[in-house]
Amino acid sequence: MSDFRNRMSLLNAQFSRRRFLQTTALAGAAAAAVPLIGTGSAMAQTPQRGGNFRMGLSGGATTDSLDPALASGTVAFVACHCWGDTLVESDPKTGEPLPSLATSWSPSPDAKVWTFKIRDGVRFHDGSAMTVDDVVATLKRHTDENSKSGALGLLGGVTAIENTGGDLVVTLREGDADLPLTMTDYHLQIQPKGGVDNPTAAIGTGPYKLASHQAGVRTTFERNADDWRDDRGFVDSVELIVMNDSTARMAALSSGQVQFINTVDPKTVNLLGRAPNVEVIQTSGKGFYSFLMHCDTAPFDNNDLRLALKYAIDREAILQRAIGGFGTLGNDYPVNENYLLAPEGIEQRAYDPDKAAFHYKQAGHEGPILLRTSDAAFPGAVDAAVLFQQSARAAGITLDVRREPADGYWTNVWNVQPFSASYWGGRPTQDLRYTTSYLSSAEWNDTRFKREDFDALLVKARGELDEAKRRTMYRDMAIMVRDEGGLILPVFNDYLNAASKTMRGWVDDIGNDLSNGRLASRIWLEA
């Protein structure tokens, strides 16, 4: 599903290992960058405790819920990680699973049965002890077929969730080597009795306790003095202030009203970088900007035409001119180096009008091709479409660019019209990335890519515990999508956030934006 459609825009796209602090104006390309203090930094300091951390965030709405099952959007994402914990976390640098409320896990030889050891001595915010039964009830609530949980699809293969001798035992219909990483999903915050009685109470085991909540306006938290961990929750209180207007966020940060803002517009980096007490944070992730062709709809049901368009796009021009250089080149498959077992050695597809013209002639198509785009698709989407139009012209391909209204774009255009601009955030694993939108039966298969051999390979890779074999399978899958699919992926986008210079402890996390949603628990404020 498009992440704009469910208000997850710029949320599921996830961080790579590089981040930059830009304190001077940009002139053309990005200015020289200095890393913020964070994990692995030579400038790392001992965390200080105290202070009120205020975040001005886009991605909040009056419909936001504190029920983690229903959480979507940036503000709800961050809020979940303030009050809750999942069974498993992911390593910020590698993306590998790490213990949290589960201390360890082990699969059966076929990866269909997983046993999780649950941590002792952890208490919920209401003082009650967390038990295996609470964990079982939480997962059952999210796997109920009548549930509206955002994690329901992720756990669709679960057939049984049990407390067996004090351990959590999860049984699957098919083997899944990635189940521990699935347990990192932010919807799966462990709640007393699974949250069945009061799912919106925001009672968990996290570093902060809920103090107040006004959906679409402000959510506040106070430090959990009884936190089971001592390596987080350094500030006394956290405020999540909804600021969906970009200008308002910039003004709030520059004036000191907040110490952090998200989603800085690339066009305003120059201006914001001039503020004396502000640092801009650039991080790349798993999200990407793209153009989608329906493989089952003429003229895109002809692979020569699809290849012609893939060679006719100037990726470098789009990266530099449409989104200001804040990203990395894509290669027409939806996985980059931030994924575990990412494919290696696949030749980068370059702009080649001669090859584009060759395949266009082979396709036998005549006449203009309609490309729909919108400001809603991604920042710079209209400019990117115009650049695509210009580069395709050199290959003798005529693109008619139609700018669609932002209102209704994700309902009326995306996954409906056969050729359009789109944005996707990342997923925790390659399996979930492909299962979401490339499996033949996927509801959100927005390129209509359908191959039985691809589907079979996807299922086989999911249950394979040998990493070398899985890597080979994922490489084969990437090549299938690249060479025969309907995805034109020019750019994996970077994230642009900004902070006051009093904020310390930023941690690059390839898991997701905003330090994988854990920004509030990881940072501290310099006195």
The pLDDT score that the predictor gives to residue 118 is: 98
Provide the mean pLDDT of the chain. Answer: 89
Query: For residue 64, what are its two tokens?
Result: 């936001």
In whole angstroms, what is the distance from residue 4 CA to residue 234 CA? 33
Tell me the per-residue pLDDT of 473-509, one tens digit each, with 9 for 90 and over.
Answer: 999 999 999 999 999 999 999 888 999 999 999 998 8
Query: For residue 309, what are its two tokens?
Result: 């368009």
The pLDDT score that the predictor gives to residue 365 is: 97
The pLDDT score that the predictor gives to residue 333 is: 98
**pLDDT score of 108 more than 80:** yes
CATH of domain 285-494: 3.10.105.10
**273-277 mean pLDDT:** 85
The pLDDT score that the predictor gives to residue 407 is: 82
- Angstrom distances, CA of residue 26 to CA of 143, 185, 267, 315, 335: 48, 36, 10, 21, 29
Of 227 and 527, more confident: 227
Global pTM value: 0.79
Using pLDDT thresholds of 50, 70 and 90, give the confidence band for residue 7: very low
In whole angstroms, what is the distance from residue 353 CA to residue 317 CA? 14
Tell me the per-residue pLDDT of 190-217, one tens digit each, with 9 for 90 and over.
Answer: 999 999 999 999 999 999 999 999 999 9
The pLDDT score that the predictor gives to residue 1 is: 37
The pLDDT score that the predictor gives to residue 425 is: 79
User: Where along the chain do its domains lie?
Assistant: 68-75+82-205, 285-494
Q: Please, which residues have CB within 8 angstroms of residue 76's CB and are 6 or more apart in sequence? A: 60, 64, 65, 66
**pLDDT score of 295 more than 60:** yes
**pLDDT score of 6 more than 60:** no
**385-394 mean pLDDT:** 98
Query: For residue 511, what are its two tokens?
Result: 């898991």
**416-423 mean pLDDT:** 96
Tell me the per-residue pLDDT of 249-266, one tens digit each, with 9 for 90 and over.
Answer: 999 999 999 999 998 888
The pLDDT score that the predictor gives to residue 28 is: 30
Burial profile 329-353: b = 16 or more Cβ within 10 angstroms, e = fewer = bbbbbbbbebbbbbbeebeebebeb
Residue 268 corresponds to which amino acid?
Answer: T
Of 527, 512, 515, 500, give the one whose Cα is nearest residue 250.
500
The pLDDT score that the predictor gives to residue 287 is: 87
Residues 417, 418, 421, 426: is their CA dihedral positive or negative? positive
**110-121 mean pLDDT:** 97
CA angle 342, 348, 350 (to 5 degrees): 150
**pLDDT score of 29 more than 60:** no
- Angstrom distances, CA of residue 202 to CA of 132, 237, 344: 19, 16, 42
Of 429 and 193, more confident: 193
The pLDDT score that the predictor gives to residue 513 is: 87
The pLDDT score that the predictor gives to residue 148 is: 87
The pLDDT score that the predictor gives to residue 34 is: 30
DSSP string spanning 465-481? --HHHHHHHHHHHHHHH
Of 90, 117, 102, 83, give the one whose Cα is nearest residue 195.
83
233: region left, alpha or beta (phi > 0 left; psi from -120 to 50 alpha): left
Query: For residue 499, what are its two tokens?
Result: 């902070």
CATH 3.30.70.380 fits 68-75+82-205, yes or no: no
